[in-house]
Amino acid sequence: MVRILLAILCFSSFSSIGFAQKVKYKELFVLLNAKQYEQAEPFLRRYLAENDDNPNAYLFMGMIFQEKAAGNDVLKHTDILISNLDSAVIFYDKSYKQLDEKEIKRNDEYYQAYNRRDLRTGKFGVKLSDVQFDLEKRMEALRERKRLVAELRTHYDKAESKYVRSQQRFTEVKNKYGNAKTMFLRSNEETISSLKLIASVFDSSVQAFKQYKAVSEKIGNTGHNQELILNEIKNMDSDGMTKADFMQDKLEIWDYKRWAEGAMEGIEKEIVPMRDHLISYDIELNKLREKLKKDSVSVRSDLTKLVDKMLTVQLRKYDPNPMPMDVFGMKIEELEYLSELITNKRLRDSADVKLHVRLTESELKEVSHLDSVATKLSARNFDEDAVDYDHFVRNAYGTSSVLKSLVKTTKDFADREKKRKAEELQRLKGAINWMVTPKDSIPLFMEVPVGSKFKPLILVEEKYTFGFQFADTTALGYFSAINPARKDGLSVTFPVDNKVFTQRKLPVTKALSASDEKGEVFYALFYSTEKVNEKFPVTLAKIYRKDGLAWSSNFACELLPNGLTFHVESGEVAVKTTNAAGESKMVFVDRNGKKKEAPK
């Protein structure tokens, strides 16, 4: 390291006095051997200008140019790269021609990079053949790299120029017709010829790019790794015009071949047969409606098969918003809704309110789809559509007025049904939130309105709820098991400590609950977080699903309750109590509601 620093200082001083001193190769070698090529190059050039008989100097000059070539961008600096590759080969060749045994022996310190053990003698040394072989391989690799770089650039330029040409041809077609719909409706042999040319030119671009990528893989790390992303031209009006930057790794280009071939296929195979297909498809939908009305059966399976026969994809290739597809969509949505009603009819006998909510939600969803499609269709300009689809309108409906009347009738039906189903859903969702008993409707939500006589403290979804029921200011405990029908279930009231549990004391009143795994036995516990006579008041009730209230018991705990556990084997309830310091104590209540002392 010290020698390198001294060499840099030495050559820096040379530079400051305009190369006044003669360059000594031994000192210059220190920089070269340390690969300090940038500092060494100007001095090496000066040295070689004055000395043309040093093969080691030529060797390092070749390395310098090879290093430069490695840093050149194959696409942005192609000419410079090729020039550096040529220069590297020239200097390696000069070194190769001047190398001999005498040079190796006299200046073996310059060739220590080639120092190897002789397998025959076991001694280390530098062989002329090793140095020559390395130079031969370097020159061969550089010449091959030059060939590949030139080939790479040729393919790259061809890919880019052909793509630009295909984009120009696409633009010409677009300017001529204005939009895809017009192009398809007015297409002729000239249109087909233009589309074929676009596909051919674009294909040449893609093939050139593939050749470019193949050569790039042979070269190795080129600094470019373009991934060709073919963007589909879905809308002739808005797509296909943005320019492509072939230098970008994510190379996004418009797929003109796919577009052109799709357009040709549409013109040759779809436009002409499409007209008769639209008529037959409309007839099939009419048959399904008759089947639904006559047999009162869902036709969804038939619709699934029929949907596959729609020409949506084909039509939208030349018309992004085809009127026949909207008509078919309206008819299909109506059949979907009517089929939904028929399918759900057999489930309506169930008392499960949530099931009724799901059924009504699905029906509202279907009729909303119908309403949306009918609304969209009714907003169309049927007079203009009738010009483009004259064959369809005349053969399926006679006149555009008849078609307009069908759309209006369907839209009115969808409006009425949507309103009816929305009202039904609102009513059912309201019913979900209440358990209806012979005497009351018990809320199944926590935030009851001000003035409600119920104050729920515990709600276990779809299992049970309990809290206080107030008559004036007097409290009763209530418990209600939740069932799917939201009525005629277990519902009991029980006495509580009315001196403790009052409306005024609700903010300091809490509750705990427990039940067995089968949901046959329930425990409801109320407690106050304020002490009375230095203890925390508690009311505990036991309820059987079959027999109702078993008992309710009032007692007090020294510590604050924070857990309730039911032991099935003993029939006991364990109340876990704790204080602010984290100390805990268990309070036990037997199967008859009697408080027991904790075991010693």
Q: Tens of pLDDT along 243-302?
A: 999 999 999 999 999 999 988 988 888 877 887 888 999 999 999 999 998 888 998 888
Is 50 contained in some domain?
A: yes
Are 337 and 395 found together in one domain? yes
Residues 455 and 553 in one domain: yes
Chain centroid to CA 202 = 31
Tell me the C-alpha distance between 11 and 13, whole Å: 5
Report the number of distinct structural domains present in the chain.
Answer: 4
- 295 and 425 share one domain: yes
Beta sheet of 572-578, edge-to-edge order: 560-567, 572-578, 584-589, 595-596
Backbone φ and ψ of 64, nearest 5°: -60, -45
Q: Any idea which of 184-188, 456-460, 569-573 has the lowest mean pLDDT?
A: 184-188
Query: First vs last Cα of the chain: how many Å apart?
Result: 83
Q: Which residues, at least 6 apart from 179, have a Cβ–Cβ distance to it below 8 Å? A: 236, 237
pLDDT in tens, 466-478: 999 998 778 999 9
Judgement on whether residues 309 and 439 belong to the same structural domain of the protein: no
Q: Is the entire prediction scored with pTM above 0.85?
A: no
For residue 250, what is the enclosing H or E element?
Answer: strand 250-254
Question: Of 227, 262, 297, which residue sits at a domain end?
Answer: 262
Q: Is the pLDDT of residue 198 over 50?
A: yes
Distance, CA of 322 to CA of 315 (rounded, Å): 7
Which of 176-180, 316-320, 417-421 is the most confident on average? 417-421
Task: Indicate which CATH number applies to the domain containing 112.
Answer: 1.25.40
Cα gap 260→239, rounded to integer Å: 13
- Pair 55, 124 in one domain: yes
350 alpha-carbon distance from chain centroid: 40
Give the closest residue to 287 by CA, choosing from 277, 299, 278, 275: 299
Residue 162 lies inside a defined structural domain of this protein: no
Asked if residue 207 and residue 309 are part of one domain, the reply reads no
Going by C-alpha positions, the residue among 47, 91, 49 that lies closest to residue 67 is: 91
- Within 10 angstroms of residue 117's Cβ, the number of other Cβ atoms is 10
Q: One-letter amino acid identity for 344? A: N
**Residue that finishes a domain, picked among 262, 294, 311:** 262
Which candidate, 330, 333, 317, 315, places its Cα nearest to that of 389? 315
pLDDT tens-digit map of 92-148? 999 999 999 999 999 999 999 999 988 787 888 899 999 999 999 999 999 999 999
User: Of 109, 133, 151, which residue constitutes the final position of a domain?
Assistant: 151
Looking at the structure, tell me whether residues 251 and 318 fall in a common domain. Answer: no
Tell me the backbone φ, ψ of residue 555, rounded to 5 degrees.
Answer: -155, -175
Judge if 134 and 11 occupy the same domain. Answer: yes
289 and 404 inside one domain: yes
Task: Give me the domain span that covers residue 442.
Answer: 435-596
Q: Which residues pair with 564 in a beta bridge?
A: 575
Same domain? 476 vs 506: yes
Nearest to 436 by CA among 351, 510, 542: 351
